[in-house]
Every structure is written in structure tokens, then in C-alpha cells.
Amino acid sequence: MDWRRFGFIALIILVLIGVVVMVGATQVSPTVIVVSMLATTISVATPLTLGALSGIYCERAGVVNIGIEGMMLASAFFGWFGAIYLNTILKVAPMPSLLLGVVAAILTGGLLGLLHAVLSVTYKVDQIIGGTVINILAIGITGFLNRQLFFEKGSIFGGEVPHAPGVLPRFHIPLLADLPLVGRVFEQQPIAVSAVVLVLVTHFVLFYTRWGLRTRAVGEHPRAADTVGINVARMRYANVIIGGLIAGLAGAYFTLESVPSFEPLMTNGRGFISLAAMIFGNWSPFGAWASALVFGAAQALQINLQFFREQIPPQWAFLQQAYIVGLVPYLLTMVILTGIIGKTTPPAADGQPYEK
């Protein structure tokens, strides 16, 4: 990850925050806006960060995973369903229900990761097709079950959308959250916090441990790894499953941390933007996180601007059009992926099945 790239990322984030400050300055103090933007950015970047980390585990091991979107969607649903089932039917208290819901989401992602590994490592199916299968499967299964379980008469919830156990509570990070002014940035929910922790963990694992060295080896030159006695298939299985588990956690964000409900297709392309963040971050955890924050800032812009809808000065009137602001994350994806800044290098054996 070169400094030019980080500089470019910081610049975009500053511009996005600057826009909100300019628009809202008449109403609210700039400090409050900046802090609020930062807090929102970190929070909404969570699924993107996790999705990108998921992609990093898979692709560093040589397996392209475009099924992250589907993994997130399925996990969002099953995490949600798990939490509600526990809370409503089994009468478990809301907090344990939510936490077990997160576990269910993670396991759902892990299972889909296993499916992807079986398809791409064992059966050497084209990895793009394998990922597409997962995406379509997730859309179909969540749409169908959502209708059947929640809206059909005679289903377990009796055709009524049950009351949700809420969302995961904010987490008061000691010391940091007590800081004056910026303390609010560090009051985050648990999945957002774990995403940041996982960035650090992944960096350490990839670049400082035996596991990481072997993972990168099978992603760069599987035959070389094989000749020194490393089991390529096993390394790829393990990493794709780990990637699935992390995508599962990203899925949990949508229904257990962000909003207490499930909507069909609610991941809304976030899995694909994650992959963009992974690529723009050059397959490195910190790079991916920084890129995810750019997309997060774009979304934070949209969310924060809503508060100042009325105050938007005439020359910025086009910002009142919600859909224009909503386009920003997607436009950024396109601009960034055209590679205007620096060349990225994927792992050399990325996407190639290993034949002995």
C-alpha cells in the first residue's frame, strides 16, 4: 500500500466531510458535523470492511469470491431469523437472542464459504460461476423463506411480522470514548468494533504468522507451496471458510446492528463494493479498510445531508435530490475501479484452480 493511495483516500474522505460541513455550517457547529460524519463513516463502513477482509482471505489463498454479496444477504436473513426465533418462540431474553443471532449469521457465512470451497477447490468449477451461484441462491432462499416464515398464514410466526429484539447496543470504548469532542466517534456497536479489530488481526495473521505465509504462498504459486509439502487444497478450504465466516459477520451487521428488520435484497450491492475496496486496497487489510472508509464516507454524506435538507443553499440545490447523493458510493466505485490511482497487483494465482 503506497502513500499516494492513502493520500488519495484521505483526500476523498475530507472532501465528502467538507461538503456536509459547508451545507450544515449555518445550523450546527463544524466540530459536531465532523464528529458525526466520522462516527457514521466508521459505522456504515463496517460491512464493507468485513466484506473486503472476507475477500482478502479468499483471494490471498487464490480463490476469487464474488459470492460475498450472497453470503452477506443469507447471513443477514438467518441471523435475523435466529434472533427472532429465539426471542419470540423460545422466549430467550433480547440480548442473548441477538448475540446468538450473530453466531447464526457467522455460521451461515461459514457454510456458504464451505460450499464455495467445495465448488472451486474440489470440483474446480469456474470461480466466478461458483460465486454467482451463491449470490443467486442467497437471493432466492432469503426471498422465499422471508415470505414463507413471516408472511404466510400458519407459519411459525402466524403470518405476522414479530416484534424484533432490537439491535446490538452501542459499546462504550473505555478512555477513547471519554475524550472530549471526538469521544462520540468511539461509541460504536460491537460489529463495527470487531471489524476494526479484525483488520489488525488479519494484517498480523497474513504478514507475521506461519498461516499467513502459507496462505499467501498458495495464492501466489500453489505448485511451489506443494513442492515444500504444503497441502494447497486444505489451505484454500480453510481460508475460504474463514472468509465466509467474516462475510457472515458482515451480514449480521445489516439486521442485528444497523436496523432491526430484514428486507429482501437489503445488502444492495455492498458485497460487490467490498470487493472494489479490496482491490483498491491492493489486497491488504489496511488498504482495504481505508478504501471501505471512503465508501462509508460517501454513505455518511447521504445520511447526514438528510438532516440539513432544508438548509441546502441554492447553488447546492441538486443535493436535495436524494437519489443523486445515493449514487455517490456507486459512482466512487466506478471511478476508483478505473484505476486512476496506481496499479494494483492481485495474488498471482488468484482465481486459478490448482491441478497437480
To another protein, the closest distance from the beta carbon of 338 in angstroms equals 23
Hey, is 109 helix, strand or coil? Answer: helix
Query: Which of the stretches 52-60, 85-93, 225-233, 302-310 binds another protein when contact is defined by CB under 8 A?
Result: 225-233
3 state SS for 272-319: HHHHHHHHHCCCCHHHHHHHHHHHHHHHHHHHHHHHHHHHCCHHHHHH
Q: Decide if residue 343 touches another protein (CB under 8 A).
A: no
The residue from 228, 306, 318, 355 that contacts another protein (CB under 8 A) is 228
Smallest distance from another protein to CB 310, Å: 53
Told to check if 210 binds another protein by CB under 8 A, we report: yes
Residue among 32, 184, 221, 311 that touches another protein (CB under 8 A) = 221
Q: Residue 187: beta bridge partners? A: 172
Q: Which grid coordinates belong to 356?
A: 497437480
Q: Pairing relation of β-strands 171-172 and 187-188? A: antiparallel
Residues contacting another protein: total by CB under 8 A:
19
Does position 31 bind another protein by CB under 8 A? no
Interaction of residue 348 with another protein, rule CB under 8 A: yes
Determine, following the binding rule CB under 8 A, whether residue 200 of this chain makes contact with another protein: no
Distance CA 354, CA 356 (A): 6
Q: Residue 203, interface with another protein (CB under 8 A)? A: no
Q: Does 354 bind another protein (CB under 8 A)?
A: no
Buried b (16+ CB within 10 A) or exposed e, 21-58: bebbeeebeeeebbbbbbbbbbbbbbbbbbbbbbbbbb
At 170, which amino acid appears? R
> Can you tell me which of 5, 116, 203, 214 binds another protein, judged by CB under 8 A?
214
| Residue 233 found at the interface with another protein (CB under 8 A) | no
- Positions in the binding site for another protein (CB under 8 A): 208-210, 213-214, 216-217, 220-221, 223-230, 348, 356
